[in-house]
Structure 1
């Protein structure tokens, strides 16, 4: 069968003695389609600025009034992180290096499942606008929160820049360089900033839905045509195997191997857990839904969504390679296109019918704008909520003024992202590798910081501060170093025998730079870009844990509320011996009012029942009886000042003390009402008030 496919394909290829460079360009119909797409995106922002609450409150502007719908939010989460980088980068990766990249989507799907059952239940009940509010509450430190903010802002600006750059290369290709990539970058920044600034989260989500339809149409339209051109799936597979692009098994544990199964699955899973679970754009979206169940489903629905879009893009690359291999002209090997221009060149070469090139470029800009708008909305949210609002001046502002400030922040980050787009034009390699390299280097430490809080209740603010700083330093070092030394810039060669060109592509020696590096540094820069998130995560966790243990020896304490750790972690630490908990210096804090409910849900014995401050049920019953007597005596003694209602209230206070040790506020209330001289009331206040905290929180030293 393979011989038959090969003979048919070679017969088809022999019909072309030479292949010439395609000079097809945009025509007026393509510009019209593309313009309609841009106007449609902007119109959605205008619509949501004039409907509903008209974006006059920060709750509506940043969170959609927490009443968004499941399917649009799920689609928005998906396309926010599968931009033009995916549509251009994945096909280019398959075209140049083969099909092993297909394993990447497995890690994406695992990340969706892990995030839905860990971070979504952790964040959703907290009802936070910014995911970084969690950090301050968990570590009791604004400094840790600010570090988390800065990591996200850095990642957001870098990602916006690469997302703007990706479609600009295609725009330049399809217009024959009439429309410069610099113009396209500015256009992306202006349109994305415009509708995000006007319509807030609602505009971002519904524009993402509109743009997702355009993206899917473009991807599968190109794939179907390329598969037909290549001669079908059999021919696609034949040429991919002939030119060494079929590698199903690469199980090497060596982290310096560019692509292995483990790097693609584990590395992508770590990176996407950050994206789906703790990334501000994701948290902001699933927190805008009305229930926890819908929040979970908004992430789980990305499992089939990521499979469709990612594998669709990968098959598109395989089909395009199959076609050019069948006619004996590798367009990249001939030097006709850059790595990010393979798909645009094919579209203009084989699909230059009126309107379709315009639809294709619209699909690219759909992905770019969805990523840009998501980052803009998220960055403005965290700067307002985490950096500005805590200051008394900003906290006193009206909702209208606060919303205006958040819109101004969108504009500011739009300018910064556009500037990063110009910087990204100097990046080498595919936009896919550039995005995964730098996003992974900043996202990994952020994920590590949240895991420090959710997995290790003994980690204090010192570890939470030092860990991510060291993590981002190491991961950015390897990322920037690998790029500057041209590491991992590889591609598998193909046939160029039928390409008609007069100028040979420039040759380069990918080992020239690495030969000048010291052996240790050369190995460090050779780590696969897929492992950069893992470098950041594990460095942050290891350093954070060690620093926290050292800081605890110098008296640094931490008090962790049970709602800030994963339930399984809470149960695990609760089951360990008390001496072990004392060694790790763990203090759990719980809400008195919710103790019984939480304990029944988690199947654990209440902490208060285990603490020295607790009392036995017999003692509690005796106290309640004494309180009854005190209340009755008060009622008889002073009917005008102490009513039956007050007597009942006193009884209830005494009974509440039997559950978790009545707090000091209750005992003060009892003393005030007894107004001196009531021994029984004083007895209740003295014995029931042995709780170690003031107010509505009970903390238990383990």
Structure 2
């Protein structure tokens, strides 16, 4: 152990374990399809009748965005940059408290089917539709990458069939999403998060046994510089510091848990606001457990391969393949366990894809179909929702096929998807926290935020940072005195230290050539840590929105005060208020806030007072 060798391929038992995971996920969808046969409204399909408890919703929230990209990417980042990423748990804590006490009360009180309906109530229909289109674009792109990227990593290391896995993942998600709706998605997430934890645990336990305990793993990490946690350098261009991780990630995850349709749709399915808030706080525990597990997996990889890096030795073609490589290396003598790990990775994929498909169907039906089909019955809308699940499932599989043609651009595309979420968070903050903002400011802020975010992200991709703080920690190849012959067997060869020196020399030469062609702005703005990209988009959206709103006279029409944080929201948390105050039923007209008398009265006042001035922007 320690030098890259020829790892085993998948056995029949591994395929059995993986197929079992897919089968159980499909059965859950079938069960909820029959269990909800008498409930045919779109609200039952998209919100599970708003009758769920906090525990399954919390596990679903955890599973939804702990994707396979996270399960494979986080250990690789820890292997290369160290365990400082454990500070993401602090970011999760800040995000949970912020979202649970600000965004959640507003969205739960309104009972909206589509999150973006809020933007029409607060600003106008044009703001709503622009935001909805941005959400659909970013979700389809991200979901396609979430299907393809981990599948490619597993295929190249384990020999697992690439397109068989891509298509089966998409079809199973389409199947149980279309049959069982949100309840099926949530309960499959509960099952899948258990598989994720079991898969990570199998790797950790086996590595601890191989290395003779946790102590040697931590000692190897310490001597390899992976335990240098306390970096409080305020430099915004350093890739990972305490501040980039805590502040940058807190904003990133606020985009997810604060205003993203996939997450809001889940906690809005709870039977009371108390359960909705509890689902977020219990989700925090799940996030921290998985984060700690993935960080320790990264340290396990380093401990096993500290003397012979598989990446430099060209046994893997990308860092995302390191954890699958370790799994096949240490678990090859235990049939079924490699299959359990692969099942855990694809559980992350299934949970992400199913959540995305369900959310895409919800916003499409509510924002683009229902407004033009008001005469349709709830039964008809429910059938349309199911068709939209099938449609977006097919679209996401197609996006996975497109991702396969992008090659090295897949990572860049994944980064680009993140720059749209920051401006979306900013526009919701403009609506909820600043009562004087108007639709002119909202649209301008959104456009400025998206434009500047694209500019800085494309610049960062075109001119990668050259600072040593953005490079991985040292990776040794001193133990790599082996190479593959033409038959795939390992034989002795010249010392790989020559390879290391040559690679370093070539890298230095390329860097010197790049410096002469780099614009001055590249050394600061384009070198900004990618952890700040979402924060940059959010901040620029808010600043531009506030400025334009002030210059155009601010909001002139009356707005329902329920669209803002109320005194009760700001003075009452799950810890400081009585339990009974939070145990209140959702509005009787779920998702029909625009038809509530209170909303109608304010809409009439708006028309009388200002002639709907904001709506005339477009």
- TM above 0.5, yes or no, is yes
Q: Distance in 2 between matches of 1:569 and 1:449?
A: 23
Does the aligned pair in 1 maintain the 2:557–2:606 contact within 8 Å?
no
Name 1:36's counterpart in structure 2.
20
Structure 2 residue 424 is matched with structure 1 residue 442:
no
Mapping of residues 637-676 of structure 1, within 5 Å: none
Q: Check 1:223–1:692 CA distance in 2 against 1; reply closer, same or farther (3 A cut).
A: closer
State the 1:47 CA deviation: 1.8
1:330 to 295, 305, 309: 309
Within 5 Å, give how 1:230-629 maps onto structure 2: 230-325=211-306, 328-337=307-316, 338-352=318-332, 353-391=334-372, 394-425=373-404, 426=406, 428=408, 435=414, 437-487=415-465, 490-499=471-480, 500-501=482-483, 507=503, 509=507, 511=511, 513=514, 515-552=516-553, 557-567=556-566
**2:88 aligned with 1:88, yes or no?**
no
2:127 corresponds to 1:148: no
Residues 78, 298 of structure 2: 8 Å contact kept: yes
Q: What is the TM-score with the length of structure 1 in the denominator?
A: 0.74
- Name the SS of the counterpart of 1:501 in structure 2: strand
Following superposition, the deviation at residue 522 of structure 1 comes to 4.7
Aligned to 1:128: 112
* Cα shift at 1:53: 3.4
Question: Counterpart of 1:171?
Answer: 154
Q: 1:184 to 1:491 in 2, by over 3 A?
A: farther
Q: TM-score, normalization: structure 2? A: 0.84
Which 5+ residue runs of structure 2 have no aligned equivalent?
A: 485-495, 572-580, 582-597, 611-618
Compared CA separation, residues 423 and 311, structure 1 to 2 (3 A) = farther
Q: Please report how far the alpha carbon of residue 308 of structure 1 lies from its aligned counterpart in structure 2 after TM superposition.
A: 0.3
Distance in 1 of aligned mates of 2:472 and 2:32: 46
Give the aligned length: 556
Q: Secondary structure at the match of 1:193?
A: helix
Structure 1 CA distance for aligned equivalents of residues 238 and 59 of structure 2: 34
Task: Confirm or deny: 8 A CA contact 1:449 1:464 kept in the other structure.
Answer: yes
Task: Please name the residue that 2:491 is paired with.
Answer: none
SS of the counterpart of 2:254?
helix
Q: Is the 8 A contact 2:464 2:526 kept in 1?
A: no
Give the 3 Å change call, closer, same or farther, for CA 696–217 of structure 1 in structure 2. same
- Root-mean-square deviation (CA, aligned residues, Å) is 2.9
Q: 1:589 is matched with which residue?
A: none
Shift of 1:265: 0.2
CA contact (8 A) 2:33 2:179 kept: yes
CA distance in 2, matches of 1:186, 1:517: 42
Structure 1 counterpart of 2:585: none
1:91-114 C-alpha deviation (Å, 9 max, x unpaired) = 101111111111122101210111
* 265-274 or 438-447: bigger deviation: 438-447
Counterpart CA distance in 1 for 2:319 and 2:192 is 24
Q: Decide whether aligned partners of structure 1 residues 538 and 113 sit closer, same or farther in structure 2, where only a CA change above 3 A counts.
A: same
Q: SS of the residue aligned with 2:305? A: helix
Counterpart contact for 2:158–2:328, Cα < 8 Å: no
Cα displacement string for residues 351-387 of structure 1 (whole angstroms, at most 9, x for unaligned residues): 1111001111100000011000101111110111112
Contact 1:55 1:199 (C-alpha < 8 Å) held by counterparts:
no
Q: Contact 1:460–1:558 (CA<8 Å) still a contact in 2?
A: no
What residue number does 2:34 align with? 50
Deviations 1:435-470 (A, max 9, x none): 5x3443111111101100011110001111111121
Indicate the SS of the match to 1:301: helix
1:657-680 deviation per Cα after TM superposition (whole angstroms, max 9, x unaligned):
xxxxxx9xxxxxxxxxxxxxxxxx
Q: Secondary structure at 2:559's aligned position in 1?
A: strand
Q: Distance in 2 between matches of 1:330 and 1:416?
A: 38
Q: Distance in 2 between matches of 1:57 and 1:273?
A: 31
Deviation at 1:62? Answer: 0.6
Cα offset, 1:420, TM superposition: 2.8
Where does structure 1 lack aligned partners over 5 or more consecutive residues? 1-15, 573-600, 602-662, 664-690
1:614-641, Cα deviation, whole Å (9 max, x unpaired) = xxxxxxxxxxxxxxxxxxxxxxxxxxxx
Which secondary structure does the structure 2 equivalent of 1:25 belong to? coil
Verify the 8 A CA contact 1:62 1:381 in the aligned structure 2. Answer: yes
1:427 Cα offset (Å)? 5.8
The higher relative CO (CA closer than 8 Å, separation ≥ 6) is in 2
